[in-house]
Structure 1
Amino acid sequence: MRRLPIRTLATLTAIGALTLTGCGTQSAATGAAGTSDEGRTITARKVMRLTTVHQETGMTLLEGPTFGTDGGLYVVDVTAPAGKPKVLRVDVGRKTSRAVHTDSRGAYTSAQFSPYDGRLYLTDYAHGEIVSMDPDGGDFRTFFSGEVDGALMNPDDLAFDQDGNLYVSDSRGLSEGEAHGRVVRIDRTGEKTAVLADGLAATNGISFDLGYRGLWISELTENRISYLRLDADGKVTARHTAVRVDGGIAQTDSIAVDADGNLYQALHGRAAMIVYNQYGERLATVRLPARTEGLESATNVAITPGGRTAYVTVSGPAGGYLYTFDALADGVRQSNGG
């Protein structure tokens, strides 16, 4: 979120109390000028505005774009107050949207459909819970709540393995500026949990690589992407820093992976994304058009399954928007929410 990336604790304490440090603290960098090491520049095109700043929370923060089997694009608004849509379904062709879910409590930072039961799963950052619902918003359930290894989570993003087990980026320690972040595995029944990695710097984005052999994770307060190698049981066998992101005042938010294994690293504090290949080589920078104002963070992206049309969630004082661009390769499950 995812994004928050630096999810401002003031906003986080306010959406459960109405608290949310959105997927990052909203800083002020709108598509700063590119430099020669940015690779090719891709200019995103505006699709539509989805939300305006909420008077109750003082902001809007779109996250977690993910396509349903019906072709609809589902998006969450992290800082939406009670009564305002917290999950929206967007018809990108008609440029229309409708509310799917709202409640008086949740601060949802990501969304993804499970390959096991087809339900839409959301991370509630403020309350340490994972919830799920039918695509139409019905049958709302709490999937997981409680402590993991003696500590509550601040679940930010999530990824599913091929069997429907959940891998969650737990951004613990963000408000204190301490490296207490974790990667948590929750089996598809919601009954068994395991901490796969800890001591992380505000874990944020999370995505499997193409072969489900490992996880890419972003650490918000260190501006780095780490790689966790997994064994056949989903346990971490090795971990290393894969990419050090030169973000300046911007910070690493959510991550997506396309059919060529390229990483799309969203930035909180700059309305842009950086694309790397699996070896850490910088391929491209996705930016908004010149002179775009009032948009400060690009939190996440979904690439059309089997196609190259990408939709990125962008937010700031001007509101919450969808922008589109042509991805470097086709969309797969790893580039469809999280």
Structure 2
Amino acid sequence: MRRFRNRSLAALTALGALALSGCGAEAHTPGDRAAPGPSGRTVTAHQLMRLTTVHEETGMTLLEGPVFGADGRLIVVDVTAPPGKPKVMSVDVRGKKARTLFTDDRGAYTSAQFSPYDGRLYLSDFANGEIVSLAPGGGDRRTFFTGEVGGARMQPDDIAFDRDGNLYVSDSLGLTTGEARGRVVRVDRDGGAATVLADGLAATNGISFDVGYRGLWISELTENRISYLPVDGRPGAAGRHTAVRVDGGVAQTDSIAVDADGNLYQGLHGRPAMAVYDRYGERLATVEAPARAGGLESATNVAITPGGTKAYMTVSGPAGGYLYAFEAFAEGIRQSNGG
């Protein structure tokens, strides 16, 4: 069985090859601050439900991309689901029930988010270097963007939308070779022009706008850092800079989300936990699954209920793919849903 710790460097590579070959939460007041210190407090998430078990065909399961739809259901993707198994699921978090929204025989979908422009559900297909979209009900699959950008085909990991519906992609180019060739790519909302906004990144993974849409928070998996990239076009705006260096030990920086107070929720691959920072880089808390929860090795992403503080974290490992819940530090907004 493949080890989850090697998800990005091995499992996604293997999954991409497979696809291409055709085949109790700690009580606190939302918005309060952590105790002083470099690591902040510990918030224990509680298990809500198991969504998947390890797939015999791929040797693993890996949940990602949680995002709430207009109907209140939570959309979750399983990156390593084989053909015929649910690759996109719709979850009733109150009733603790899930149903298949979409599957196919080729894609490895690593994130999901609804567009503010056309209301469709967009997915990044890491295996095929494409961005696809679905109708909210899971049908009408369309290829939104495919092909080369700046002379190279993308390895899209996560996505984020600006207010106008233009799409921003964390391109993990170079991930499989260990080269710092990662990029941030902007695709016009009609799927036409694509522009490289930043390059030379170390396995670009998470991407999310800040609260004011002035810049992008970007996590770089193989350097365990969060960078900030201004994108609002202000005269004299500086380029990207390292904003946070994540002390992850054996864990690496995965997806990233932002709440209404501007706090960053940084997923960790290699540990079933998330690191929470304020916008100035202060470590507020570590949200983690209970120590007794064995067989879990990563917490990739989180969705916070729009206008509420209930957060749902995707956690995976040899024990399966789960949703864990906790109280967020502030209310959920678009940037804490699928970014």
Question: When the two structures are superposed, what TM-score results if normalisation uses the length of structure 1?
Answer: 0.92
Secondary structure of the 1:266 match is strand
Change in 2 beyond 3 A, CA 1:38/1:97: same
Distance 1:134 1:5 in 2: 33
Query: Does 295-304 or 6-15 show the bigger shift?
Result: 6-15
Distance 1:235 1:198 in 2: 20
- 2:144 maps to 143
The 8 Å contact of residues 6 and 251 in structure 1, kept in 2 or not, is answered as: no
Q: Does 1:170 align with 2:171?
A: yes
Change in 2 beyond 3 A, CA 1:234/1:208: farther
**What are the superposed Cα offsets for residues 191-241 of structure 1, whole Å, 9 maximum, x if unpaired?**
011000000000000000000000000000000000001234999742100
In the TM superposition, 1:200-215 aligns within 5 A as 200-215=201-216
Distance 1:234 1:292 in 2: 50
The 8 Å contact of residues 113 and 159 in structure 2, kept in 1 or not, is answered as: yes
The 8 Å contact of residues 5 and 204 in structure 1, kept in 2 or not, is answered as: no
Distance 2:185 2:167 in 1: 8
Q: Structure 2: which 5+ residue stretches go unaligned?
A: 21-36
Q: Residue type of the partner of 2:120?
A: R
Change in 2 beyond 3 A, CA 1:235/1:304: farther
- 1:33 maps to none
Distance 1:194 1:131 in 2: 18
**What are the superposed Cα offsets for residues 130-163 of structure 1, whole Å, 9 maximum, x if unpaired?**
0000111111101000000110000000000000
- 1:291 maps to 292
Distance 2:5 2:233 in 1: 31
The 8 Å contact of residues 209 and 217 in structure 2, kept in 1 or not, is answered as: yes
Q: Residue type of the partner of 2:244?
A: V
- 1:15 maps to 15
Report sequence identity in percent.
Answer: 75
Q: Shift of residue 15 of structure 1? A: 3.0
The 8 Å contact of residues 15 and 106 in structure 1, kept in 2 or not, is answered as: no
Q: Structure 1: which 5+ residue stretches go unaligned?
A: 21-35
Distance 1:13 1:238 in 2: 31
Distance 2:173 2:276 in 1: 27
- 2:108 maps to 107
Q: Does 1:334 align with 2:332?
A: no
- 2:128 maps to 127
Secondary structure of the 2:17 match is coil
Q: Residue type of the partner of 1:248?
A: G
Secondary structure of the 2:211 match is coil
Change in 2 beyond 3 A, CA 1:61/1:321: same
Structural RMSD (CA): 1.9
In the TM superposition, 1:67-82 aligns within 5 A as 67-82=68-83
